[in-house]
Amino acid sequence: MAAAGGEPSSHNMSDELFQTFISEVKQIEKRDSVLTSKQQIDRLLRPGASYFNLNPFEVLQIDPEATDDELKKRFRALSILVHPDKNQDDPDRAQKAFEAVDKAYKLLLDPDQKKRALDVIHAGKEYVEHMVKEKKKQLKKDGKLLDVEEDDPEMFRQAVYKQTMKLFAELEIKRKEREAKDMHERKRAREEEIEAAEKAKREREWQKNFEETRDGRVDSWRTFQAKGKKSKEKKNRSFLKPPKVKMEQRE
């Protein structure tokens, strides 16, 4: 439906831009699908690959709406292309590239993981659409032409791509933070567990030692009491003994 003045609505424009974006992505995928083994390895291990490769669709160069059969075919073709056996002149880098492809494929085989990846991609598109809308709103308020760089399909595609990569990176950073926090908590719990076990061990050893030496302590106490009693009786006898009568000397 057209807006007032015969101009297309912003909603229709955004849908058209996104469809153009998808079309260009497919063209890029088709172009890149004929890359050589070395070129594919370079692509998968390029600077920043640890973040670029968070998007499994980007790794496999496949449309997010591709069928499971298309996904399987693409994985087989790409995995063969970068497999270490096919790249014996650079097996270490080939192995890393192969692992990236294998990880992306396994992630997309998991329905929950695939849905999360699709949610990120859709969120990236929605963010760019919102940004374009806000830019045009401000231009209209300022009385300027409603032209923004994202009206160019290529610029729109790049904006969506960058935002999508940013979202994947942010999610990965949060995941690592949670993982580090969980590891710290597990470590602390383990340390507390060890400390509790050592404390319990010390208490058992003290109790054992206490019981083993109890008879000796009792005997010592009895001996001490007996000696004390004898000493007391001796003193009492000395106290009760009549004094010696001193004989008077005769003159």
Assess if residue 42 is contained within a domain. yes
Same domain, 118 and 209: yes
Assess if residue 245 is contained within a domain. no
In 3D space, the residue among 112, 95, 94, 114 whose CA is nearest the CA of residue 104 turns out to be 114
HSE of 88, CA atoms in CB hemisphere, 13 A:
2
- State the total domains in the chain: 2
Domain enclosing residue 98, as ranges: 34-109
Q: Whole-angstrom Cα distance, residue 44 to residue 35?
A: 12
pLDDT in the model for residue 88: 94
Most confident region among 27-36, 120-129, 227-236 by mean pLDDT: 120-129
Cα-based torsion angle of the residue sequence 118, 121, 124, 125 in order, rounded to the nearest 10 degrees: -100
The answer, yes or no, to whether residue 118 has pLDDT greater than 90, is yes
Q: What is the mean pLDDT of residues 140-166?
A: 91
CATH number at residue 103: 1.10.287.110
Assess if residue 81 is contained within a domain. yes
Same domain, 150 and 88: no
184-211 pLDDT, tens per residue?
999 989 999 998 999 998 888 888 887 7
211-232 pLDDT, tens per residue?
777 776 667 767 766 666 666 6
Q: Whole-angstrom Cα distance, residue 153 to residue 157?
A: 6
User: pLDDT tier at 8 (50, 70, 90 boundaries)?
Assistant: very low
Assess if residue 228 is contained within a domain. no
Same domain, 214 and 123: yes
Q: What is the mean pLDDT of residues 145-161?
A: 91
Most confident region among 3-7, 133-137, 229-233 by mean pLDDT: 133-137
Look at residues 47, 74, 109 and tell me which one is the last residue of a structural domain.
Answer: 109
Average pLDDT, the chain: 82
User: pLDDT tier at 244 (50, 70, 90 boundaries)?
Assistant: low
Assess if residue 227 is contained within a domain. no
Look at residues 109, 140, 163 and tell me which one is the last residue of a structural domain.
Answer: 109
Same domain, 39 and 68: yes
Look at residues 109, 140, 169 and tell me which one is the last residue of a structural domain.
Answer: 109
Instruction: Match 């370079």 to its residue by tokens.
Output: 42
Q: What is the mean pLDDT of residues 129-156?
A: 92
71-116 pLDDT, tens per residue?
999 999 999 999 999 999 999 999 999 999 999 999 999 999 999 9
Same domain, 76 and 132: no
